[in-house]
Amino acid sequence: MLPPKPKVLLISTVHPPNDPRIVFKVAASLQNHYDVTCALPNATPETLAGVRFVKLPFYPKLTDRLWRVHPLVIWKLLKTKPDVVQVFVAELLPIAFIFSWFGAKIIYEVQENLPKKFHTKKINNEKLFQYFFRCFDGLARRFFYLIFTEYAYLKDYNNLKKTHRVVANFASLPLLNPMWRPYRAGNASQLAEFLYVGVVSTDRCIQTIIDALALVRVSHPDVIMHLFGTVNFGMENLEKLENYELVRKNMVFYGYTDLRVAYQKARTAVAGIAMLKAVGDYPDSYTTKMFDYMALGLPVLTSNFELYRSVIETAKCGFCLPPDDPNALAESMNWLIANPLEAQKMGENGRAAVEKNYNWASEEQKLLALYREGINS
């Protein structure tokens, strides 16, 4: 009889129930080697076969989560007696210490450089929260294994006591391949459609996108922008943005949507858009959607950060543009519409680059190596 698999608990109080990285990358990679439980807000049992899901309530405000969700996490999950606990948000570090007192090894995944982003957050950025973050983040550096999604974070996390790994958020081909089709094969009418997946916000250049659409619609009045993601500053404020009324009929907002549904639109899109402003840690952090678009065979329109240019311009799979220049974005959109064969070649180049360099399979081995070391230590 084979020995029982070590128990792993993956937990977040803020990520969606079908978060691509947690569920379809981390959990999917671990399930063949470990007994995996995944605790996420509004999780459903059928999300991923072979993984046990625990449904947590969701509250936007950290104060609500602290007294409504965190005690539930301790009461509901401590009895599972996990061997390894991986937490994906800093607010769970105090709870992680409780699990460690009961014998669990802790892995803390750093997905954002919070000290650089506190000032960009509209909620949960109070000075008291920042103080406690610094305290527990410092303790985590001493006692926990750490995973970073970006190499740039190592500039600030340079005094670590335990093993760490950079596990980049590259594209998962098993997840995306069902949505991958020959370029624009599903668009018989060849409408000018573009795809945007991610939070809709001012930091992610929504004003630039609106202004660019206003320019593109002069020559392509039927241009459509499909936007999948939460409007984090409210639809009522979106409607007040300059030129929004002009392009209202050219924009379709779907809200937060499972990527397996949202990326169906890649089949008919001219390109994928992933524009970000140079705020917080954005210039040092890959936008995950860039790799997803590449994997789906779409040209990519993104910001002209050096990090992004090293991927897009090297692979010749899109354009890197000034994030505050709607004219440059509109020119690139118009060029891709007018040059479908060149656009298709860009998409093919991006797909080839993902297959060779930017896919999850390579990162999976780093993840599993850290787990082996943590469990055997």
Q: How does DSSP assign 174-188, residue by residue? A: HHHGGG--STTTT-T
Top CATH class of 173-356 equals alpha beta
Q: How long is the chain?
A: 377
Q: Which residues pair with 272 in a beta bridge?
A: 195, 300
- Our measurement of the distance from residue 81's CA atom to the centroid of its chain's CA atoms, rounded to an integer in Å, reads 29
**pLDDT per residue over 286-299, tens digit each?**
999 999 999 999 99
- Residues 272-284: what's their mean pLDDT? 94
Q: To which residue do tokens 């190596």 refer?
A: 369
Structure tokens at 113: 């450089």
pTM to 2 decimal places = 0.93
| pLDDT computed for residue 122 by the predictor | 64
**pLDDT per residue over 131-173, tens digit each?**
888 899 999 999 999 999 999 999 989 889 999 999 999 999 9
Q: Please report which helix (H) or strand (E) contains residue 271, including its range.
A: strand 271-274
* Fold assignment, 7-170+359-376: Rossmann fold (3.40.50)
Q: Please report which helix (H) or strand (E) contains residue 313, including its range.
A: helix 306-315
- Residues 83-101: what's their mean pLDDT? 96
Say if CB 325 and CB 335 are below 8 A apart: no
Pairwise CA distance, residues 213 & 215, whole Å: 5
Structure tokens at 284: 């040092």
Tell me the one-letter amino acid at 362: S
Pairwise CA distance, residues 291 & 330, whole Å: 22
Nearest-10 crossing angle of helices 288-295, 340-356 = 110
Q: Rounded to 5 degrees, what are φ and ψ at 296?
A: -90, 5
Least confident of 118-127, 220-229, 238-247: 118-127
Say if CB 215 and CB 240 are below 8 A apart: no
Tell me: pLDDT of 119 over 70: no
**pLDDT per residue over 322-354, tens digit each?**
999 999 999 999 999 999 999 999 999 999 999
Structure tokens at 342: 């060149």
Q: Which residues contact 50 (CB under 8 A, 6 or more apart)?
A: 31, 36
CATH 3.40.50.2000: which residues of the chain? 7-170+359-376, 173-356
Provide the pLDDT confidence category of residue 46 given band limits of 50, 70 and 90.
confident
Q: What percent of the chain has pLDDT over 90?
A: 83
| pLDDT computed for residue 280 by the predictor | 85
Closest to 299 (Cα-Cα) out of 249, 349, 236: 349
